[in-house]
Amino acid sequence: MPLLTALHEAADLEAAVTAPDGSLSRHELLDRAGRVAAEIAGAPIVAVDATPSLSTIVAVTGALLAGVPIVPIPPDAGVLERRHILEDSRAALILPDFIPLNPGKSEVSAALVLYTSGTTGAPKGVVISEEAIAADLDALAAAWQWTPDDTLVHGLPLYHVHGLVLGILGPLRLGCRLIHTGRPTPANYAAAAGTMYFGVPTVWSRIAADPTAAKALEPARLLVSGSAPLPPSVFDGLATLTGQSPVERYGMTETLITVSTRADGERRPGQVGTPLPGIATRLADESGAPLPADGETIGHLQVTGPTLLDGYLRDGGVRAPDLVDGWYPTGDVATIAPDGWHRIVGRASTDLIKTGGYRVGAGEVEDALLLHPAVREAAVIGTPHADLGEQITAYVVGDPVTEQELIAFVAERLAAHKRPRRVRHVAELPRNAMGKVQKGLLSSD
């Protein structure tokens, strides 16, 4: 069965795909994508300048029809990042303008190669198969009751899993309408009249701060948040203003989406639900030994199932991922409750703080800080400390409030060892295009 099932089999819909530069019916999209496919047939791999536009959607669709792996390039990529992606992928040409390149030999069988930054080194090309994408979209369709009757609205970048795989390929496989708003502003979301909305926490925070826009989303049946933790205050604000709590989910480029709240199930602030059908998860300690799913113990999250990457692009081929007995080590730390609900603490490298013999999750401290009326945003990291090993250091955006007041505020709500030792006020937190705080850019001096 082809990945883009609805494109081939569903009835034609006028304005099936809408972007800031126009709309296409399914037949029009298939016709334009078919012409792209004919032009690039036989190419080993191609890149696309992934602007939020119909041209990007047509290019990606055409590459999939041709069976040619496609590499999305962020439109805001700097000169060095762009050069690295093109040289590392060995793309033969750049769509949508069919700009020829001089690639080396490339032997890759995949649907997408998505470049993602790790903790060190240049971005790595993650090789994802059609089978993995199909398995993930079908599992999400079941979890979210996603049907052809839906209209999906989002304004997310088209070079990540969230905006591209879920936000573009999802409608083309499942048959629903798609409206890409260009920019994910509260006004654009409010005007779109969708049944499903995708957003990152920054988007939902701005909507929760705009009661008029939030009220306009009340008729929608599903508000989905992902790509970064959603602050409980935003979760509660959306529930109050729209009449429904958002659905949260968890995933990463290498695994696609693996854990989610269900459309017809409970929704808990600060938690991302249970594994999707076909997915299994487990926790391990630093030595790889299993940890209990008791809702309290923080461990390294490992995932297995049909949505895993094929590997990483390397020297024109694919290097298999480093699995642990078939399990993918996500690099994230989490807790799993006895009922299977997951709480993502964050990245092991930045969000698991080892202080004075204790293991503290940064997210728990951030949530406590956000309860203070003067704090609008918070990021917590561990910084070197001669006695404790690491001390808990918080960076906050908000109204003037003393360091000692915030330290005492957290100490009243959490165990004493979880209180920040330092609190620093900043004008803004560094974030990437998906709204994730880039904690590596926070000063540790």
pLDDT digits (tens, 9 = 90+) for 117-153: 654 567 899 999 999 999 999 999 999 999 999 999 9
Indicate whether 442 pLDDT > 60. Answer: yes
Position 394 scores a pLDDT of: 94
Band of pLDDT at residue 81, cut at 50, 70 and 90: confident
Burial of 104 (0-12, 13-18, 19+ CB in 10 A): exposed
Burial of 410 (0-12, 13-18, 19+ CB in 10 A): buried
More confident call, 444 vs 172:
172
Whose tokens are 């001669």? That residue is 386
Q: What's the pLDDT at 117?
A: 67
% of residues, the chain, pLDDT over 70:
98
pLDDT average, residue stretch 287-305: 95
**Type of residue at 311:** G
Residue 291 · residue 285 · CB < 8 Å = yes
User: pTM to 2 decimals?
Assistant: 0.86
- Closest alpha carbon to 378 in 424, 444, 434: 424
What value does the mean pLDDT of the chain take?
92
Most confident of 109-123, 342-356, 362-376: 362-376
Helices 362-370 and 403-413, axial angle in degrees (round to 10): 110
Query: Given this model, what pLDDT does residue 227 score?
Result: 84
What's the confidence (pLDDT) of residue 444?
Answer: 54
Structure tokens at 396: 């906050």
**Which is higher by pLDDT, 86 or 228?**
86
Mean pLDDT of 227-236: 87
Work out the pLDDT band at 60, boundaries 50, 70, 90: very high
Asked if residue 217 has pLDDT above 90, the reply is yes
More confident residue, 272 or 345: 272
- Give me the pLDDT at residue 121, please: 62
Give all domains of the chain, ordered by start, each with its CATH number: 1-345 (3.40.50.12780), 356-441 (3.30.300.30)
* pLDDT tens track for 19-41: 999 999 999 999 999 999 999 99
Chain centre distance of CA 434: 7
pLDDT tier at 218, thresholds 50, 70, 90: very high
